[in-house]
Structure 1
Amino acid sequence: MKKLIFTLLLASSLIVNAQEEEKKFTLSGSIDTYFRGNISGGNYDTAPGSSFANQPGFALGMINVIAGYEGEKVGFVADMVYGPRGVDAVFGSPVGSSQIVNQLYAYWNVSEKVTLTMGNFNTFLGYEVISPTANFNYSTSYLFSYGPFSHTGIKADIALGEDTSLMLAVMNPTDATEFNPNGSYAFGAQLGFYGQYLNVLVDPAFFEIDYTGGFDVSNSFFLGINAAYLSGSDDGPGFYGAALYPQIATSDSFKIGLRTEYFIEDGDFGAIGTGIADSSVFATTLTGNYSIGSLTIIPELRLDSTSEAAFVGDKALSSFALAAVYSF
Structure 2
Amino acid sequence: MRKLLGTSTFALVSVLAQAQTDSTDTGKLSFSGYLDSYYLTALNRPQSGNLLGVDQLAGRAFDRMADQFALGLVQAKLAYSNRKSDVVVDLTFGPNADLGNFGNSGGALNLYRPRSPYSAALYGTAAAIKQAYFTYRLTPKLGVTVGQFGTHIGYEVIDAPLNYNYSLSNLFNNGPFYHVGLKVNYAFTPTTSLMLGVVNNWDNLTDDNKQKSLIGQLSFKPVPTWTVYLNWIGGRDDTYLAGLVQAGTLPKLFDDYYRNLFDLTTNYQVTPKFYLGLNAAYGRYGFNPNTSDETMALQERFGSDTPDWGGVALYSNYALNDLVGVGVRYEYFTDKNKVRYLQTSVNSLTVTAPVTLAAGKLQVKPEFRFDTAPGRYFENKFGRGTKSQTTLGVAFIYKY
Contact 1:190 1:199 in 2 (8 A): yes
* Equivalence for 1:69: 80
Cα offsets for 1:206-249 (capped at 9, x unmatched): 20000001112222110110000011231465311000001101
Q: What SS does the aligned partner of 1:223 have?
A: strand
Q: Select which of 64, 82, 98 maps to 2:93.
A: 82
Give the letter aligned to residue 61 of structure 2. S
* Equivalence for 2:65: 55
Normalised by the length of structure 2, the TM-score is 0.73
Q: What SS does the aligned partner of 1:99 have?
A: helix
Instruction: Flag the structure with larger Rg.
Output: 2
Contact 2:148 2:180 in 1 (8 A): yes
2:332 maps to 1:262: yes
Q: What SS does the aligned partner of 2:98 have?
A: helix
- After superposition, residues 216-227 of structure 1 pair within 5 angstroms as 216-227=269-280
2:258 maps to 1:186: no
2:167 maps to 1:139: yes
* Equivalence for 2:309: 239
Looking at secondary structure, tell me which structure has more helix per residue.
2
**What is the alpha-carbon distance in structure 1 between the residues aligned to residue 161 and residue 307 of structure 2?**
32
* Equivalence for 1:287: 352
Aligned residues: 302
TM-aligned CA deviation for residue 269 of structure 1: 3.0
Q: What SS does the aligned partner of 1:61 have?
A: strand
**What is the alpha-carbon distance in structure 1 between the residues aligned to residue 275 and residue 341 of structure 2?**
30
* Equivalence for 1:3: none
Q: Structure 1 stretch 219-228 or stretch 50-59: which is displaced more?
A: 50-59
Q: Select which of 34, 40, 44 maps to 1:36.
A: 40
Q: Structure 1 stretch 153-162 or stretch 230-239: which is displaced more?
A: 230-239
Please, what is the CA RMSD of the aligned residues? Answer: 1.6
Cα offsets for 1:250-280 (capped at 9, x unmatched): 10111110010011114123633xx6xxx31
- After superposition, residues 200-215 of structure 1 pair within 5 angstroms as 200-205=232-237, 206-215=259-268
Segments ≥4 residues shifted beyond 6 Å: none
- After superposition, residues 122-161 of structure 1 pair within 5 angstroms as 122-161=150-189
TM-aligned CA deviation for residue 326 of structure 1: 0.5
Q: Structure 1 stretch 86-95 or stretch 26-35: which is displaced more?
A: 86-95
**What is the alpha-carbon distance in structure 2 between the residues aligned to residue 93 and residue 137 of structure 1?**
26
Q: Structure 1 stretch 57-66 or stretch 88-97: which is displaced more?
A: 88-97
**What is the alpha-carbon distance in structure 2 between the residues aligned to residue 129 and residue 300 of structure 1?**
18
* Equivalence for 1:252: 322
- Structure 1 gaps of 5+ residues are 1-19
Looking at secondary structure, tell me which structure has more strand per residue.
1
Q: What SS does the aligned partner of 1:133 have?
A: helix
Normalised by the length of structure 1, the TM-score is 0.88
Contact 1:46 1:311 in 2 (8 A): no
The percentage of counterpart residues that share the same residue type is 32
Contact 1:237 1:265 in 2 (8 A): no
Q: What SS does the aligned partner of 1:190 have?
A: strand
* Equivalence for 1:4: none
Give the letter aligned to residue 210 of structure 1. D
TM-aligned CA deviation for residue 109 of structure 1: 1.1
**What is the alpha-carbon distance in structure 2 between the residues aligned to residue 41 and residue 308 of structure 1?**
18
TM-aligned CA deviation for residue 41 of structure 1: 5.6
**What is the alpha-carbon distance in structure 1 between the residues aligned to residue 393 and residue 285 of structure 2?**
34
* Equivalence for 1:315: 387
Cα 1:281–1:60, aligned 2, differ >3 Å: closer, same or farther? Answer: same
**What is the alpha-carbon distance in structure 1 between the residues aligned to residue 306 and residue 75 of structure 2?**
35
Cα offsets for 1:71-110 (capped at 9, x unmatched): 1112210000000010110021154240000000011011
